[in-house]
Chain A
Amino acid sequence: MDKYSTIVVGAGIVGAAVAFGLVRKTSRVLVLDGNDIDYRASRANFGLISQQGKGLGMPAYQQLTRQSVGRWSDFNRQLSALSGIDPHFEQAGGLSFCLDETEFRKRDFVAQQLCKQSGGSPDFEMLDRADLVRLLPDTPLGPDVYGACLGLREGHVNPMRLLLALQQAILRRGGELRSGDAVNTIRPVRHGFVVETARDRFGADSVLIAAGIGTTALAAQVELDIPLTPQRGQILVTERLKRVLPLPASGLRQTREGSITIGFTEEDVGQDLGTTVEAAVVMSRRATRILPMLRHANLVRQWAGLRVLTPDGYPIYAQSQRYRGAFALACHSGITLAAFHAGELASAINAGDLPNTLAPFHPRRFYVQKN
């Protein structure tokens, strides 16, 4: 039986980012990935590197997000160099469009609160319509666009190219990656763990479970209780268009190829990856209010993904009390946090312990209610 320093369960954005960080530090890393048609949240990630609206009431999360966003540029440089793949990273700011005064005031309020909470970090700027038009002179904004909140340090990346780059880098650095080899059991043994898939069995000193919605069942095997629920998000993508939107926006961004992706839904439908015309209509309505010229653009494809949601929406980073080498993590902002995952988190896991700064993210914060 092959033995590794660390086995990472899951090669989506989260697992792959941590594994990428690990291969640069540790000798033998194996990443085991599920099947082509599993629920793969990474395939429905929107691609935003964002701070807006994140962590109000949970300063640790705001801080974590800020930190990761600040490290993204370096992370991108290292990753591109190692993998030879350009993930189409841009960090020139990100927007949240407001289509009336109420939306504007709400965003403004949240932005100000976040600023206060972080001790005055100037991360956001509210732009009225005139400001917005000055910022985006070649963007044909619709008359309903009242203004926007600009996240000064935000950006975007192509999620699938990012994942490809991570996987390529893992391989180039001597890590191993096996797809279509979903993990069924994780057994703690004397000096580590035995991980079993349908086809094979492997040994490791430590195990990191980053299997998206599948994390709950696997983490339970190492005495970690990770409560997760799926939340469906649907995405529309148009034909390629000449550049009209130079900055990404919440729910609306133009990719490097020119196609425009639109994603505004949050649905509780269980593990259902179906798409609905209703959602397509709702999303088209909002998108064409922001950019009326999209009325003439063709929708080429609609798909859905299941966000990995924790009960409060904030990430879970956990280390098993009993089996110190077992870690589990879950979040739905895998892109924004990728720099952190590949950097500090990978180092910590390599060293064998989660840092105290991650204590607020332990799932014990949910267990209180159970009494």
Chain B
Amino acid sequence: MFRRIDPEINYNQVTVYIDGHGVAAEPGEPLAAVLLRLDCPIARKTPISAKPRAPYCMMGICFECMMVIDGVLSRACVTAVQQGMQVERQCGARDIEAWKHKK
């Protein structure tokens, strides 16, 4: 949905893992920005009717970009990317036990 302004410059020095897939990213950039550059920019599916949602406000006040980030359900738009960050999309209500066993 979005692309880098200057795609010829490579700012990406770290790798984050989104649903297990490694994605190159710039250290310190908002995780939601990384998400928006992917083919699938969906952040989650709603717990009520499993509708797909993507980042909407980018400033932490809509909570659409909530993803399980290193084990905690957090907003991707106010989370700065770090090397090795583990990110999971949430589909439906949170299954904490399943996540714990996967670790």
Contacts and interface: CB of A to CB of B under 8 A. Distances in A.
Contact of A258 (B72, B93, B98): B93
Contacts of B96: 241-242, 244, 293-294, 296-297
Contacts of B39: none
B97 A293 contact: yes
B73 A298 contact: yes
A294 B100 CA distance: 12
A67 B78 CA distance: 53
Interface in B82-102: 92-100
A242 B95 contact: yes
B71 interface: yes
What is the size category of the interface that chain A forms with chain B?
10 to 19
B92 to A, nearest CB: 8
A71 interface: no
A242 B90 CA distance: 12
Interface in A264-306: 293-294, 296-298
Interface string A235-267: 000011110100000000000011000000000
B100 A242 contact: no
A296 B99 CA distance: 10
A293 B100 contact: yes
Nearest to B74: A298
27 contacts: A140-B97, A239-B73, A239-B94, A240-B47, A240-B93, A241-B93, A241-B94, A241-B95, A241-B96, A242-B92, A242-B93, A242-B94, A242-B95, A242-B96, A242-B97, A242-B98, A244-B97, A257-B47, A258-B93, A293-B96, A293-B97, A294-B96, A296-B71, A296-B72, A296-B96, A298-B72, A298-B73
Given A242-B96, A298-B73, 6 more contacts: A239-B73, A242-B93, A242-B98, A293-B96, A296-B71, A296-B99
Interface of B: 47, 71-73, 92-100
